[in-house]
Structure 1
Amino acid sequence: MTPSPQNWTRAERLTPGRLAAAVHQATGVRLVVEGLCPGGQVGAAYVRWPDGHRSVLKWRPGGRLDELRAGPLAVCEVLRGRGYPCPSTELVLQVDGAVVLVQQLLPGAPLDVLDHDGLDRALALNAAQAGLLAGRADIPPVRLHLLDDGPGYCLHEPLRRHSARGAALEERIRSVGAAHPPLLAGNDVVHQDFHHGNLLAVDGSVTGVIDWDGAGRGDHRFDLVTLRFGLHAREQPPGVVRRLDGLLDALPGDVLLPCWAHMSLRMADWAVRHFPPQEVPHWLDLAEQRL
């Protein structure tokens, strides 16, 4: 659902087969590609190791291995140490303009919709992220990009150029940015793409959370705002969105407003550049609810 960096450069030409070949050349490990994983904005494929166990091969365009180790991989190490259901990383290396990861294949499939039981589990998982990075100043905080462009997403100019409505929204986002710090405060784990499509489930029970590539330090309640934008993508069971809206309405303004402005910019800009034109007002409608 949520955009990821799209600066592919040379990595744009890399396929799962070529990446598996690069892994073999660099490490001697021969991975058999079984097929692409469904969904997502960044490539992922199922692979099988020589011993027969299956994993997920992912590639992050424009990424740097040192940044991934210092941020998302360090976050996942903390989470797994607390029993949080996120995948382990079995192998990671730099291939041309991409970081390539081989990660544990968790049981379950992504949720199509979020029912009330799923929302309960999502809220419990989010609450478990609180305070886990206290004393970990080495893990970078989340940058909100309310006054500057993000790395391939959260771009301001496309929204300004789209329409008078888009320009007015971008101006409100910048005004929020001028009144709030550029980095998310707090010592919680922040997933940054915590939507129901990244929750795995078996028979309706959540078994894991995937796609931690943007994880960092900040306020875990940021992820509730991300979840709300994810639920906007399609109709949900009755009452689920209303429940989450009630929780968001109870958040302090200095938490909710910058997080909402970030997600408004992220999704409105992405819709302008990547979605059919008729879908853009759908995201502007949501953004304007709290801006």
Structure 2
Amino acid sequence: MTEAVDRAWPRTARLDAPQIIDRIADITGVRLILEGPAPGGEVGAAYVRWPDGRRSVLTEGRSRSGPLVDRARQAGIPTARHELAAHVDGARVIVQQRLPGAPPDRMDQTLVRQLLALNDRLAGLLLDVPAPKPSDLYLTADGPGFCLHQPLAEHSARSAALLARVHAVGAAYGSAMIGDDLVHFDFHPGNVLVDAGRVTGLIDWDGATRGDRHFDLVTLRFWLTGRHDELLAPIDRRLDGISRRRRDAYWAHISLRMVDWSIRHHDETTVEHWLTVAESGLDGDRPPGWAVRPLSA
């Protein structure tokens, strides 16, 4: 294995909940009480309590995702209401409803079926909303703090080869995702809450955008590959219905995103895991069940 490049790549800072709570009090006059860190998440979240006793979750995020979260909830998806949004020292912070449940400690077919049903509810949710420019998958240029290309180019020969394949997909198919569905954009088990085997929340809608809901299924498949291969069949049956162009573009995006983030925030074992997953789904070397289809849109 090629030795990884020893370089300090820029890292995304973790949530500093005490400081943010102080600043929210300064700006809004509302004094939240910190209860402790919320589990999971790459950037972090915190449990807080309002003066009237209500319990909520403090995160950093985009306040403009609130209307999309509301639309998802109207479609029957369990999402948290945004209760406060503020601009704090150059970052947007959100206080949102605390939903019941916790991230699943195990994955099974019942949970996968529930996630597929939630994904179905995202179909066409933005048909009546004027379409902005298509969502960028960042296959040919850096994303805003994620999907950075240079870490892959310099980390190792293996990551550089993956980056070349991502660039090839971007050159062949473009780097845009189109559609009228609501896309969560980070649809994986860590952003799901369950209670007694039932999904009680889909959280972290910070990246929510307009596009193709199958993008979320590719993300889910990526996360499960290599760890829960026995759960992939129903996801693959859904993805067999979309074109190779879309599958490759979506897989290239999540490959870039996960490997870049791991290089900058995690250990080499994690990087190698996501490289292996990424390589399994590009350039025709697809996992079982991914039929190669004509290069049609």
Fold equivalence (TM over 0.5): yes
TM-score when normalising by structure 1: 0.87
**The one of 125, 128, 150 aligned to 1:157:** 150
Bigger shift: 25-34 or 117-126? 25-34
**What's the CA shift string for 1:147-204, capped at 9, x where partnerless?**
0011121111111222222222111111111122322100111111100111111111
TM-fit CA distance, 1:135: 2.8
1:174 is aligned to 2:167: yes
Q: Is the 8 A contact 1:129 1:190 kept in 2?
A: yes
- Identify unmatched segments of 5+ residues in structure 2: 1-9, 283-297
**The one of 220, 224, 240 aligned to 2:231:** 240
1: CA distance between counterparts of 2:11 and 2:208? Answer: 17
1: CA distance between counterparts of 2:43 and 2:264? Answer: 16
**What's the CA shift string for 1:104-162, capped at 9, x where partnerless?**
00110011232111000000000100100113236664310000011121111111222
Query: Cα distance 1:114–1:142, how it changes in 2: closer, same or farther (>3 A)?
Result: farther
TM-fit CA distance, 1:41: 1.1
1:76 is aligned to 2:69: yes
1:32 is aligned to 2:33: yes
**What's the CA shift string for 1:39-86, capped at 9, x where partnerless?**
1112211111111110001124xxxxxxx344x222112112223211
**What's the CA shift string for 1:190-235, capped at 9, x where partnerless?**
1111001111111111111000011100000100111112224x73
**The one of 254, 267, 270 aligned to 2:245:** 254
- Look up the match of 2:16: 15
Number of matched residues?
Answer: 273
Q: Is the 8 A contact 1:159 1:269 kept in 2?
A: yes
2: CA distance between counterparts of 1:101 and 1:161? Answer: 35
**What's the CA shift string for 1:1-44, capped at 9, x where partnerless?**
xxxx9555xxx7x7212211222222222211100111111221
Q: Is the 8 A contact 1:113 1:196 kept in 2?
A: no
- Look up the match of 1:117: 110
TM-fit CA distance, 1:271: 2.2
**The one of 253, 256, 266 aligned to 1:265:** 256
- Look up the match of 1:64: none
TM-score when normalising by structure 2: 0.85
- Look up the match of 1:130: 123
SS of structure 1 residue aligned to 2:206: coil
1:57 is aligned to 2:49: no
How many percent of aligned residue pairs carry the same amino acid? 48
* Two-structure CA RMSD over aligned residues (Å): 2.0
2: CA distance between counterparts of 1:46 and 1:117? Answer: 29
SS of structure 1 residue aligned to 2:22: helix
Q: Is the 8 A contact 1:140 1:217 kept in 2?
A: no
Instruction: Output the amino acid matched with 2:83.
Output: E
Instruction: Output the amino acid matched with 1:124.
Output: A
- Identify unmatched segments of 5+ residues in structure 1: 61-67
Q: Is the 8 A contact 1:139 1:216 kept in 2?
A: no
Instruction: Output the amino acid matched with 2:242.
Output: L
2: CA distance between counterparts of 1:276 and 1:73? Answer: 34
SS of structure 1 residue aligned to 2:127: coil
Q: Is the 8 A contact 1:189 1:216 kept in 2?
A: yes
Which aligned segments of 4 or more residues in structure 1 are displaced greater than 6 angstroms? none
In the TM superposition, what are the counterparts of 1:179-190 in structure 2 within 5 Å? 179-190=172-183
Instruction: Output the amino acid matched with 1:235.
Output: R
Instruction: Output the amino acid matched with 2:274.
Output: W
Instruction: Output the amino acid matched with 2:135.
Output: V
2: CA distance between counterparts of 1:275 and 1:7? Answer: 12
SS of structure 1 residue aligned to 2:136: coil
